[in-house]
C-alpha cells in the first residue's frame, strides 16, 4: 500500500489541471489576475466567478484577462471592457446605482435594524415589568390560592 500511495497521488493530479495556468511576466500581474478573476462573474453559470468556473466562456474571459493584463491595461479598464460587453451583471462588486442600491445598502440596513432590536431589548430588561406590581387585592388572592394549593397536596 505504501508503494501504491505515490502512484495513486499521481493519478489524482489531472484533477488539478482542469483550469489552465498562465505564465506571468510579473508576480504583481498574477496577483491582479487572481483578484480580478475572483471578482468577475461567469455570465453563463451565474453563481460562479470566472476563476471557479469551467464553462467555455469563463476560459475565454480568463484568457482575455491574461492578455489584457500583459498588455498593460489597468484594473478599471479591464472591468469596463467586460461591462461594455456583458453588462454590470459581470461584476460581483457592481457600481453603486439605483438598481444596485438595495444590494449595497441592505447589509447596513439590516445591521441598523438589529442594533435597534438589541437596544430595545436591553432597555426593556432593566425595568421591572408592570406585571410584577400586584395590587393589595391581588396579593391577598395570590396568597389564598397558594395556601389552597398547599392544602390540596
Q: Which residues bind another protein (CB under 8 A)?
A: 43-44, 46, 55-57, 60, 64, 83-87, 89
CB atoms within 10 A of CB 129: 8
Q: Which is nearer to another protein, 102 or 149 (CB)?
A: 102
Per-residue burial over 87-109, b = 16 or more CB atoms within 10 Å of its CB, e = otherwise:
eeebbeebeeeeeeeeeeeeeee
Smaller CB separation from another protein, 35 or 117 = 117
Cβ-based nearer residue to another protein, 110 or 142: 110
How far apart are CB 87 and another protein at their closest, in Å? 4
Shortest Å, Cβ 80 to another protein = 11
Gyration radius from the chain CA atoms: 32
User: Looking up cell 498588455, which residue turns up?
Assistant: 71
Residue closer to another protein (CB basis): 19 or 83: 83
Angstrom distance (rounded) from CA 27 to CA 129? 65
Residue 8: CB minimum distance to another protein, A: 34
Helices H / strands E in the chain, number of each? 6, 0
Shortest Cβ 69–another protein spacing (Å): 16
Amino acid at each position: 500500500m505504501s508503494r501504491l500511495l505515490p502512484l495513486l497521488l499521481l493519478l489524482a493530479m489531472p484533477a488539478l489541471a482542469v483550469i489552465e495556468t498562465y505564465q506571468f511576466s510579473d508576480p504583481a500581474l498574477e496577483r491582479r489576475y487572481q483578484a480580478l478573476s475572483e471578482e468577475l462573474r461567469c455570465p453563463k453559470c451565474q453563481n460562479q466567478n470566472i476563476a471557479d468556473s469551467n464553462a467555455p466562456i469563463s476560459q475565454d474571459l480568463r484568457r482575455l484577462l491574461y492578455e489584457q493584463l500583459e498588455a498593460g491595461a489597468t484594473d478599471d479598464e479591464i472591468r469596463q471592457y467586460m461591462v461594455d460587453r456583458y453588462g454590470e451583471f459581470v461584476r460581483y462588486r457592481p457600481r453603486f446605482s439605483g438598481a444596485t442600491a438595495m444590494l449595497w445598502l441592505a447589509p447596513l440596513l439590516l445591521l441598523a435594524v438589529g442594533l435597534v432590536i438589541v437596544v430595545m431589548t436591553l432597555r426593556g430588561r432593566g425595568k421591572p415589568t408592570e406585571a410584577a406590581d400586584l395590587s393589595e387585592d391581588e396579593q391577598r388572592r395570590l396568597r389564598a390560592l397558594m395556601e389552597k394549593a398547599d392544602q390540596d397536596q
